[in-house]
Amino acid sequence: MKIIDFHTHIFPPEIRDQREDYLNKDFVFASLYTSPKARLATAEDLIAAMDEAGIATSVALNLNWLSHELCVRTNDYIMEAVSRHPGRLVGFGMVLPAAGEAGLRELERCIKGGLKGIGEVRPSSSMFEGEAASALDGLAAMARQHGMVVLTHSSEPVGHRYAGKGKVGPALLCRLISTYPGLKIVCAHWGGGLPFYEFMPEVSSTLNNTYYDTAASTLLYKMDVFEYAAAFLPRNKVLFGSDFPLISPKKFIQRIKALNLPVEKEESLLWQNAAGVLSLESGV
């Protein structure tokens, strides 16, 4: 069976090797990687983990940096990594509405450079206000025109606290999704509980172009969440994502296979849904 991992993170070697410098430069990076136990991985680390786990293709995500310059630098690395590993890596870049015209130019550069999406975005209410809202409109229009996917961070409004949890809950996600209904959006970490609201007809119709990845599930939920999703959510909605290097893809896949889901639902989860979202042929 082919496997597509929809949620992984890679960084240039200089960021991995100079972690302390970047902790002082970027609050989002610091919220996630202050602990020395929080591993930073390069493209080569990811390819090695994919080979070990039998993963055909991974989506390599960027980070929601707070500076345009860091977005550009890390987008360069992801584009270069994708070109070195064709077919194995699908790249997502990062652009900031606050960068205005420079952000639009960077998104255009990412598209020309072969990146297929934007993420992992951390939406905030300020994105919908003033000049940022106008810039966000432009970015969303360009992304939609070129068939790009937007992957957002999501966090549960209840439960334990953890590094980088943030406050991107179902209400904020619904605001983003309803503002840009033509945009293909993947909400990471099970959408912070958003799938539950698919039982509400008016919400379900808003979420018809929205998907959920399973990143970091083993740290957040009982494995029963997969059986719930298989039983109650539309079959194309859930995408396997590990959150490598935070989670071992190999161990995560082993736990999913131990659930003995129906074959067609396991295949949908592990590659078919992702292939559809990314418009990949035959899942590769």
Cα distances (angstroms) measured from residue 105 to each of 83, 114, 253: 21, 15, 38
What is the model's pLDDT at position 130? 87
Domains of the chain listed by start with CATH number:
4-283 (3.20.20.140)
What is the model's pLDDT at position 131? 86
For residue 114, report the phi and psi dihedrals to the nearest 5 degrees.
Answer: 90, 5
Q: What angle do CA 153, 106, 178 make, to 5 degrees?
A: 40
Q: Determine the distance from the C-alpha atom of residue 28 to the mean position of all C-alpha atoms in its chain, rounded to a whole number.
A: 15
Cβ burial, residue 281 (10 Å; 0-12/13-18/19+): exposed
| Residues of the chain below pLDDT 50 | 283-284
What is the model's pLDDT at position 255? 97
What is the model's pLDDT at position 159? 94
pLDDT digits 0-9 by tens, 72-91:
999 999 999 999 999 999 99
Q: Each residue of 44-68: b (16+ CB within 10 Å) or e?
A: ebbbebbeebebbbbbbbbbbbeeb
Please give the model's pTM, rounded to 2 decimal places. Answer: 0.96
